[in-house]
Each structure stands twice: as structure tokens, then as C-alpha cells.
Structure 1
Amino acid sequence: MPLMTQSHHRALYALSPLLTLVFSLPALAAGAPANAPAMKIIVAGTVSQSTSRPAEDESAIRVIKALDRPVDLNVTDAPILEVMQLLAEAGDVTIEIQNETLDLLPYGSDTRMTATIEHRSLRESLTELLRRLGLGFEEGVDRILVEPTQPLRRIARRAKWEELDMLYKLYSTTWSRELFDSLQFQFQDARVGYADANPERLAEVTGGVGTGLAAEVLELACDKYGWAWAPSGEIIAIMSKTRAIERQLSKKVTVDYVQTSLKDVLVDLTRRAGVSLEMEPGALASLPPHVFERFPLRMEAATIRQVLEWICGLTGLSYSIEPNGIRISGSNVATATNVQGEGQTSDAAIRALRTNVIVGQINITNPDGSTFSFFIREDDLPPEVNEMRKAKIRNAINQIRQTLGREQPKD
């Protein structure tokens, strides 16, 4: 199974119909529900033999034609790796899915499926197959991109089967008051006294949205109040948009950035979280070139939020969580350099960073085991505490000097 990498930490699978797939996947985990959909996620596709890349519009038309092409499929308890491979061969198109999508499925890459398709378009086939996993797809320039639906992203962990069942129900059923009454809602940000009022507000707004699939109607209705929704077990959790983004930032990742620009690092992190990124003008440009252009960072099993905290601590930047995504802002260092001439900016930034260095770190462990880390810069300390810190350093240096002096060989 060849692995293609388009950009740093953007791993995807692309399988050619010319390849012979020989591999073994473990059976479903013991104790899985008997009626659980046996599905798996991967990417399959064709590899162009042309030495030159076709024009973007021609490639896009090829993808549209492939989606309209009728396909047949008959698989039983097959890994979706094989299923997608067969569909890609039938449609003569590349289908792409990222590792972050696999991580949201109950059994990850060992999710399986059973399906029979007779002369249905590839578009219809993919829609139905992926919908059962809370997934969807988009038409790329030269391929089909399989992506999580937004409610699945908001779960920010491996989904449970009952949560995928809920998503499938809402993405395949027309909204109605009867459906609303059959659902259980939990308003996670509800103020005291609004427990009964919020469901009625939601029912009223959904009724005014109009007809459509339940998931789409619910998304539009929640948006009117600045809410977002996601399945949580067998109920639907309603939360503020900022809380939803916080949940997506709680996803754990392993990163290894080497000679990567800070902009690409931030884009990669927000892409993994599935949130938008906004940067204040000049926030990155004011940093020293060696920080902005080549930012090394390696962290294992850390939440995306923890990685952002580290980046901000090391660079002096700051971030804020807003209803529409993450905003990166400049620090005092950046502000100070804005008043300098163009040729003096990088020197001023370097001097500011060196004179306001990181001198400590505070780690706060939460009840769920996660940890928040906050860096302390020299200017954050009161003058008397800073003097005590310097005195401790002087004492430690003197002790080192005395120890090394005793160890010097005598003539």
C-alpha cells in the first residue's frame, strides 16, 4: 500500500488499479455489536500515466464524469480499502482520504463494510456508503476527497457505533416535528432556567428553516443562535461554537516539524483540528526570520491545543478561540517591531525576544488527565520575584565555579 505525502503531515493513501493488494487485516474486535456496520476507511484510485499534468478544468471535468459513471459492487465484510479500490477502478478516478479521518472511526482502518450496488452512479454509491460512517466527499481538482462531516469532526475522538447510527439517521431522514420529538437533546452551555426553554427555541427555529435533511436543518437552526451540534452517545449535544472548537482542539496528535515555516505549521494544526485559521496582519512577519521560516517542533500524543500553547510560548504569539475558528495575534514583541523601520524589524524582534526570555513554565493537570502548559516570561514576574530568581541563578553559578575549581589539576 504505497503512501503519498503532499505536504508536511498530510499523509494520504493512493492506490492504483495496476497494483496487486496483498495484505491481511485483523477481524473486528471482540464484543462489537452484531448489527454494527462493518466498515473501514482508506483511499483508492488511479495513477495517471501522462507525463504532463492536464489543465485544472479538464481534470475537474474528468472527476465529474467519473462521479456520473455507473458502477457495480458486491462485497461482504470487506475492508473499505478494497471497496474504495474497486470503486476507483470502476470510476477511473483517484479517491483520497487523510489519516485524520481514519482516526474518527470506531475501528480506525479496520472498519469493514458489506454492500451490493447494481448500476448506480459512483456519486450515489459513495454518498450512501460514506454516509453510514458520518463521512462525505468533495470534488477536488483531480480527485475525490473523502472528509468527515462537521458533526463527526466535533466528536474529536473515535466515534461510537450509536453515534454513527445517529448521524446516518439525521443525514438520510427529512426533518419533521415528529423526528424532533423523538430525539433527546443536551444543551451543554445552557444557563440556569433555560433547560426547558432551549428545546422549544430550537424547535421553533428548525420549523422556520424549511424542508431538508434533518442534519442540514439542524445545522442551520443551531447557527442562528451561535450553536453547534454533535452526537454524544444516543443523544444530540448542543453547544456554543467556541466550545465545539475547544473540543476539536482536544484531539491528540504527534507532530514532527523540521525546517517547516511557522505558517505551514499553523495551517497543518488547524487542518487537523478541522477549524479555520485567521491571522492578524503582520503577526508572523514581525518574527525573526529564523523563527518564521524554519520552526522545529516535535511532540508526541499532545492535544492540538497543547501544541498551540507551546508555539505561542516559544514565539511570543498568542491565539484566541472564536466562534469561526482560531485567531493568531502578534505579541508585545510584534507590536514593538511595528514602529521600527523595515530594515530594523528583525533585529528589534530578536533583541525583544532575548530581553524577555522564557524563565519558567506552569503545568496544570485537569481531572481528565490532560494538561495545560503556560510559559512565563521574565516580564511576567514581579520585580522582587525576578531578583530572587536571578540570585538563585548566581548562587548556582558560584557553586559550579567552586566545584570546577576544586577539580582543576594542580601543577
Structure 2
Amino acid sequence: MSTLQPAALMTRLRAAALLPLLCLLPAAPLAAAQELEPLVAAALDQTVSDLRIENRPVREVLAEVEQRTGVRTVVADEVLGLLPYGAETRISIVLDGVPLRRGMQRAFVALGLEFRVEGDRVLLEPAPLLQRLGRRLSIDESALLERLATSSAEFLRDAEAPLLFRLDPATRPQERFAAALGAGSAGTALQRLDNACDALEWSWLVEGSTVVLTTREADVRRRIDIPLNLRFQRIPLDELLLALGRQAGVRITIEPGSLGAIAAREQIVDLVQRQMSLGQALELIGGSTGLRHEVSAAGVRILAPAGGSATSAASDGAGRDPGRRVIAHMMMETADGASILLPIREGELTPAELERLEARRIEGVRILRAQLSAAAP
């Protein structure tokens, strides 16, 4: 049974038998750690007893669990930053007679977290809901998650259920949702909610004390508008696009040939910006390269420049041939404070422009040598 309080998230579980299986398990090299995965999984399935940890920060609880059971669980700082009180979020676990795996699931579900075995350790990570939310969970939202995790589907069928349908009323969303709930197997309200949304191809999230249901495309559009703190330096454009998607929690797919059409691998980018959304970053990149993007229920798809070819890397009509040798790079500063390094290819500059470029290069080398000499001991 769990109780959530504003200053201390309390999750109380019952369980029995202490795990001797991994009590003194040391950190292991990668190959050896992978061999230990079955051992860690087996330890999670053992029952635990006489383990009482009350009102302590998450990492302290995990350290105590490791000391008592030998199961090492790690959680990244950025994951803790999504919890109601960050690293100071407090939980209580009392294990008495249930498998450690079940106890940990119950302990962390109200925080929007899940775990998986990786090598010789357990990783605590954001569950899909927290990934979709893209921000810190509130106390009310944590309490709602716990209610969903500890209630049957009847909680969702109740006329007073805290459900908000952000869907076209003409599609009869309430009726369809009720039918999807009835078609599912037994389970908690949280499990049935996930199953119903999967069947309907919807998405859901929590807003305060309310469960909000929406289309998957609408959810993707919401996520690409969430401000992010971006810090990418000297990264090829093709890698940047995928990294942006990972940070935003949005699947990025790329139309075949679209990146080759602009030689994205040769475009080295710096993108350091606070509070810039994925949508804004894609618009910025599109303005510099011509790349387009479209949003769907599956995520964001990157498309070749309008009027260009997505299947060839021929000249774009402006004298630019991606197959030509890159002879220089030009740093372009944007109004948003980001910078993009664009390649200059052989044949794109006139002989007079090349002479001026070479003169600037020679002058730059001279200044660099003078600075290095002055700094030498």
C-alpha cells in the first residue's frame, strides 16, 4: 500500500526473504557484466523480507537495497530531475514476502519510472509516460499514477473518473474508450489504460489530477514544442538530427537520399541554445539547408529540399555539387544564437574569391602562430 505526501513520497510494500544471491557482487568488465544479467534477473525474482527503508531520498533507498540484497540499481541525474523534488524526492519501501522485482515496480510506478537489467546492474529510467510528458512530474500527477497503478479498471469506468478527451467529439471517443476497456484482459487501471490506448492508437498523459487522452499525432506535435536545452558542438548534421529526436523523445525518420542531397555528413554543426524546442531547431536547420519535415503519429520525417531530388546528389541548380571536394567551411551565425558550419566546395567560388580566402587563411595561421609563441613558456 502506498501513501504520497507533499514532502515525502511514501510507498509501502509488503514482502519476505532476504537475497543472499548477489550480496557482494563487484562491478565487472563489460563482457563479464553481460554474463551476469541472468544472475541479476534471478535476484530480482527472489523474495525479500525484513527490509524497511522509510522517508529517504531515492539514491539512499537504492544504496540500502543494494547493501541488503546485492542488487545494484543506478539512476542518472537527469532522470532524478524529472521527479517532483528532484534528487531530494523521498520514498519509503517496506519489503515483506514478495519478489524484489514486484516491490521495485510498485515503489517507482508512482514516480513514472521503470527499470531494466543491463549487465551486472539495474537501470532506473523514465517510463513511456514520463518520456512523453517531457517535464518534471508534480505531486498531484504522482498521486494519480499511484491511484491508477493500485486500482482496477472500474476506476476508469466510473462516471467521475478524471478523464479529459482531447479528441474530435464526432469520433465518439468516450464510447470507443469504454469499448476498448471492456475488451481488455484483467489488470490494473494503469495497464488497462495503456492497452486501450494502444488498441485505439491514442496517447495519454497526466495533467495535474487529470488523465488526458489525445491522438498520437497531437502528442508528437506537443512534444516537438517543448523547450529543450541544446548543447551540440562539432557534430555532423545527420547525427544532430537523430540526437535532437532522442533528446525530445520523438522518433526521427529520414527520407532515403534526402541527407545525401545536401551532403549532411560534411556539414559540421554547433547548436548551443537554451529553451529551444525540437520544432524550432528543425526550422532553423531547414532554413539553412532546405531540408523539410513533416509530423505524423509515428514521429517526424525529414524530407529532401523542395524541388530537389531525394534519390540523387546531383547539382541543386545553384552551382553546388555535393560530389565535389570540400575546400573550406563557413561558420554561419543565426539570429537565435546558434551556429552552423557549412561546407564550401570546389567550383563554388570565383578565382578572385579563392585568392581572398587564401589570403585570410594565411593571415589566420600567422595570428595563431604569434599567439602560440606568446603563450609558450
- TM (norm. structure 2) is 0.71
The residue correspondences of 1:170-249 to structure 2 (distance < 5 A) are: 170-176=148-154, 179-191=157-169, 197-249=172-224
Give per-residue Cα distances to partners, 1:90-123, cap 9 Å, x unaligned: 4434434344433332222221112222464331
Q: 1:209 to 1:51 in 2, by over 3 A?
A: closer
1:350 deviates by: 7.9
Aligned with 2:45 (options 52, 68, 93): 68
Change (3 A) 1:324 1:205: same
Unpaired runs of 5+ residues, structure 2, are 12-22, 339-377
**1:187-336 aligned within 5 A:** 187-191=165-169, 197-288=172-263, 291-292=266-267, 294-332=268-306, 335=309
Q: CA deviation at 1:296?
A: 1.9
Using a 3 Å threshold, how does the CA distance of structure 1 residues 145 and 334 change in structure 2: closer, same or farther? farther
Two-structure CA RMSD over aligned residues (Å): 3.8
Map of 1:88 onto structure 2: 66
- Structure 1 residues 290 and 245 mapped into 2: Cα distance closer, same or farther (>3 Å)? closer
C-alpha distance in structure 2 between counterparts of 1:177 and 1:38, whole Å: 22
- 1:136 matches 2:114: yes
- Alpha carbons 2:260, 2:312 under 8 Å: kept: no
Deviation string, structure 1 residues 10-57 (Cα, Å, up to 9, x no partner): xxxxxxxxxxxxxxxxxxxxxx96576269xxxxx999555563274x
Instruction: Provide Cα deviations, 1:222-264, integer angstroms capped at 9, x if missing partner.
Output: 2333321112222221111111122223333222212323343
Query: What SS does the aligned partner of 1:221 have?
Result: helix
* Paired position in structure 2 for 1:113: 91
Change (3 A) 1:33 1:350: same
Whether the aligned pair in 2 keeps the contact of 1:187 and 1:239 (CA below 8 Å) is yes
SS in 1 for 2:302: strand
Match for residue 145 of structure 1 among 123, 132, 138 = 123
Task: Give, as a single letter, the amino acid of the residue that structure 1 aligns with 2:181.
Answer: T
Equivalent position SS for 1:200: helix
Q: For the structure 1 residues 118 and 153, does the alpha-carbon distance in structure 2 shift closer, same or farther, using more than 3 Å as the test? A: same
2:9 equivalent in structure 1:
37
Corresponding position of 1:385: none
Q: 1:87 to 1:174 in 2, by over 3 A?
A: same
Deviations 1:33-86 (A, max 9, x none): 6576269xxxxx999555563274x24313313322445532232111111122
Q: CA separation of 1:86/1:265 partners in 2, compared to 1, >3 Å: closer, same or farther? A: farther
**How far is the alpha carbon of 1:164 from its aligned partner?**
1.3
TM-superposition CA deviations, 1:187-246 (whole Å, max 9, x none): 22324x66xx42222112211123222222222222333321112222221111111122
Q: Is the 8 A contact 2:8 2:91 kept in 1?
A: no
SS at match of 1:158: coil
Give % identity. Answer: 26
Task: Say which SS state the counterpart of residue 234 (structure 2) adopts.
Answer: coil
Deviation at 1:290, TM superposition (A): 5.6
Name 1:393's counterpart in structure 2. none
The CA distance in 2 between the partners of 1:285 and 1:253, in whole Å, is 28
User: How far is the alpha carbon of 1:133 from its aligned partner?
Assistant: 1.0
Counting matched residue pairs gives: 318
Judged with a 3 Å threshold, the aligned counterparts in structure 2 of structure 1 residues 46 and 297 are, in CA distance, closer, same or farther, namely farther
TM-score (ref. length: structure 1) = 0.65
